[in-house]
Amino acid sequence: MAHYSEAQLDALGELANIGSGTACTALAQMLGRPVDIKVPSVVALPLGEAIEAVGDPELPRTAVKLDIFGDLDGTVLLVFPLEDAAALCAMLGVDPDSEVGLSALGEIGNILGTSYVNALGQMIGMEVEPHPPVTTTDMLGAIVSTVLLERDDVGDTALMLDSAMFVEGEQCELSFLLVPSADGVADLLSRIGM
C-alpha cells in the first residue's frame, strides 16, 4: 500500500495550489468576475474512504473529465453541483439544459484544466496536455470511482489533489480534482525532489 510522508503531501498540496491559482485566474478572466480559491486538500486514503472524502457519493453532480497525457499520466476532473453548473452557464449567457450548455461546461473544463496542468508542468518541468473534455451528470461516487478505475495501476489507496474555487457573490462553486496514476504520483514527487 502506497504511503506518503507529511512533507510529500504538503509539497503536492503546494503544487495543487499553484495549478488551481492559475485556473482560478483563467476563470475570473473568462467571467469578468472575481473568483476565489480555497486551500487545496490532498486526499491520500484507502479507495473507499478517498471516494467519500470527495463528497457524499450519492449526490448528483455534473463533471467534466479531461485525461491528460505527456510526461504525467492522470485525469483532471471538474465537479459542479447541478445548480452551480447552471449558474455558471447563466453567467456565460447560455442555457444550462441545452447542448450548448453542456459544451460550454466542457469548454470551461478544457480552459481551466489546461491552465492547471500547464502551470503544474512549467513549475516542475513536465510537458503535459489534456485530451478533449467529456461531460456527464451522475452520482459523485460513480464518477470518481470510474475515473480511479480507468488507471491500469490503481492500488488499494488513491491520491487526489482536491481544490475548490467559487465565484464571488454567486452560488457557483466547483471542485477541481487532479487524479494522477500511481506512476504519476511518483513522477511528480521525484520532479520536486521528494
Partner 1 sequence: MPETPVRIGELVATKDPDEVLVSVGLGSCIGLAMIDRPRGIVGLAHVMLPESPNGAGPLRGRYANHAVPILLEEVLALGARPSGLEIGMAGGAQMFAKTSSIEVGRRNEEAVRLALSAASLSVKATATGGDRGRTVRVHAQGGVMTSREVAGEELVLLGKAVGVPV
Return the residue of 112, 140, 159, 179 that touches partner 1, per CB under 8 A: 140
Q: Would you tell me how many other CB atoms lie within 10 Å of the CB of residue 119?
A: 21
Under rule CB under 8 A, residue 137 binds partner 1: yes
98 interacts with partner 1 by CB under 8 A = no
Residue number, 31 or 142, with CB nearest to partner 1: 142
Question: Is residue 2 involved in binding partner 1 (CB under 8 A)?
Answer: no
Burial class (CB in 10 A: 0-12, 13-18, 19+), 80: buried
x-or-dash string of contact with partner 1, 147-166, rule CB under 8 A: --xx---x-x----------
Q: Among residues 146, 153, 186, 190, which is the contact residue for partner 1, using CB under 8 A?
A: 146
Q: Which of 51, 104, 105, 182 binds partner 1 (CB under 8 A)?
A: 51
CA dist., res. 194 & res. 192, Å (int): 6
Does residue 134 touch partner 1 according to CB under 8 A?
yes
Return residues touching partner 1 (CB under 8 A).
1, 47-49, 51-52, 57-58, 60, 65, 67, 131-132, 134, 136-146, 149-150, 154, 156
